[in-house]
Amino acid sequence: MNTETPVPEVAFSHVGLFVHDLERMEDFYRRVLGFIVTDRGELPTPAGRVGLVFLSRDPREHHQLVLATGRPPAVEFNVVNQLSFRVRNLAALRHFHAVLKGERVRAMAPVTHGNAISLYFHDPEGTRLELFFDTPWHCTQPVREPVDLARSDADLLADAERLARSRPGFATREAWMAELAGRMDAPPGG
């Protein structure tokens, strides 16, 4: 019998980034990724006043991203591996790919992971971002294969399915989600 106390539900809400140039970063996230400013202001701290800009793309979330002044001038390593944002379809991914070509950001080639088709790039201060579209399949990760977003949706999805089927753990996304939900509902250590 499991006597451990169940862990209450936790849902991810938002992330905050320290930035050098608050206005430039606000502009990028608003103009390029379509976030809106939900609040802004300054907060006194022991280290001085911190400027804050709160941004969201979800009306249920006051903010999904908060940008804060105070990033040290010489940070040698960004511990944020990436921030990832889901898009509804491949047309949206293509839209952002085209927009990013006009920006002065470091971009990587679009890829498929089998379970998603992704576009990776860096914001103006070097934080790696991912925009991705979920495919109907699951496969064990990590896996990455370049794709050409100029190809048709049908071709991109066929390539993603081929890749997913070639990997261990292939399942439909629905089957994988049901299995994962069952594991999450199981008692801890189960």
Over residues 16-20, mean pLDDT: 95
Could you tell me which residue, 97 or 10, shows the higher pLDDT? 97
Give the type of residue at 125. E
pLDDT of residue 47: 84
Q: What is the DSSP letter of 7?
A: P
pLDDT of residue 127: 92
pLDDT of residue 2: 47
Please say if the pLDDT value at position 6 is more than 80: no
pLDDT of residue 109: 82
pLDDT of residue 190: 52
Over residues 13-36, mean pLDDT: 96
- 1: pLDDT confidence band, cut at 50, 70 and 90? very low
Over residues 26-45, mean pLDDT: 97
Cα angle for residues 26, 102, 147 (degrees, 5° grid): 105
Q: Are 130 and 119 in contact (CB under 8 A)?
A: yes
Out of 23-27, 116-120, 181-185, least confident range: 181-185
Please say if the pLDDT value at position 184 is more than 60: yes
Q: What is the DSSP letter of 18?
A: E
Question: Domain spans of the chain?
Answer: 1-72, 83-190
- Please state which CATH class domain 1-72 belongs to: alpha beta
CATH number of 83-190: 3.10.180
CA dihedral 31, 33, 39, 42 (to 10 degrees): -80
Could you tell me which residue, 185 or 38, shows the higher pLDDT? 38
Structure tokens that stand for 104 in this block = 């002065």
* Domain 1-72 matches domain 83-190 at the CATH topology level: yes
pLDDT of residue 189: 56
Q: What is the DSSP letter of 43?
A: E
State pTM to two decimals.
0.89
Cα angle for residues 113, 116, 117 (degrees, 5° grid): 85
pLDDT tens digits for range 42-87: 999 898 899 999 999 999 999 999 999 999 888 777 788 999 999 9
Structure tokens that stand for 167 in this block = 């990997």
